[in-house]
Amino acid sequence: MMETKKRLVFAADHAGYLLKNALIAVFKERGYEITDVGVNSGESCDYPIYAEKACNLVVAGEADLAILCCGTGIGMSIAANKVKGIRAACCSDIFSAKYTRLHNDANALCLGARVVGEGLAEELATVFVETGYEGIDGGKHARRVGLITEIENKNK
């Protein structure tokens, strides 16, 4: 049985737009369905707007995962995690990119264009996209993600 490619949504601010474009090219070449919600220039902009646009598509089921790029990845991560249903992780190492999917069922990867180079960013995004969630059949990871959702629901 052939595995269906995940639908990816990309967003960036001015600091991350070149990295976003490079990653889009890689994943398009690999046959992924891509949505790009901006930005498309190096002109200064407000990253929360683009983080929200991308994350809303994930929450609505129109994309499976978001990849968000800004200068450090931190601003995008903070903004993304304000969207109910998003579990965003800012990663700059392979282990974290893998285990945030395996254990936390993260659905948004945040990358810092001023922190990681294009090659490492491609590796991080690849591991993130290609790694599944261990807790799909229950167990401790599903319980913990459930507890995160409970916190989110209590703090509307």
* Residue of 23, 118, 12 whose CA lies nearest to 70: 12
pTM for this entry? 0.95
Q: Is the pLDDT of residue 2 over 60?
A: no
| CA pair distance 43, 140, nearest whole angstrom | 44
Q: Is the pLDDT of residue 3 over 70?
A: no
Q: Is the residue at 119 inside a domain?
A: yes
Per cent of the chain over pLDDT 90 is: 91
| CA pair distance 122, 28, nearest whole angstrom | 13
pLDDT value, residue 135: 83
Average pLDDT, the chain: 95
Q: How far is CA 78 from the centre of its chain?
A: 12
Q: How many helices (H) and strands (E) does the chain have?
A: 6, 5
Q: Is the residue at 105 inside a domain?
A: yes
Question: Could you tell me the residue range of the domain that residue 77 belongs to?
Answer: 7-154
Say which CATH number the domain at 90 has.
Answer: 3.40.1400.10
Torsion of CA 101, 112, 47, 156, to 10 degrees: 30
pLDDT tens digits, one per residue of 121-131: 999 999 999 99
pLDDT tens digits, one per residue of 36-62: 999 999 999 999 999 999 999 999 999
Q: Which is catalytic among the residues 55, 70, 90, 110?
A: 70
Q: Which is catalytic among the residues 45, 55, 90, 103?
A: 103
Q: Is the residue at 2 inside a domain?
A: no
141 a catalytic residue: no
Q: How far is CA 88 from the centre of its chain?
A: 6
Q: Provide the domain count of the chain.
A: 1
Tell me which residue has tokens 């974290």.
96
* Residue of 102, 103, 108 whose CA lies nearest to 75: 108
Per cent of the chain over pLDDT 70 is: 98
70 a catalytic residue: yes
Q: How far is CA 59 from the centre of its chain?
A: 12
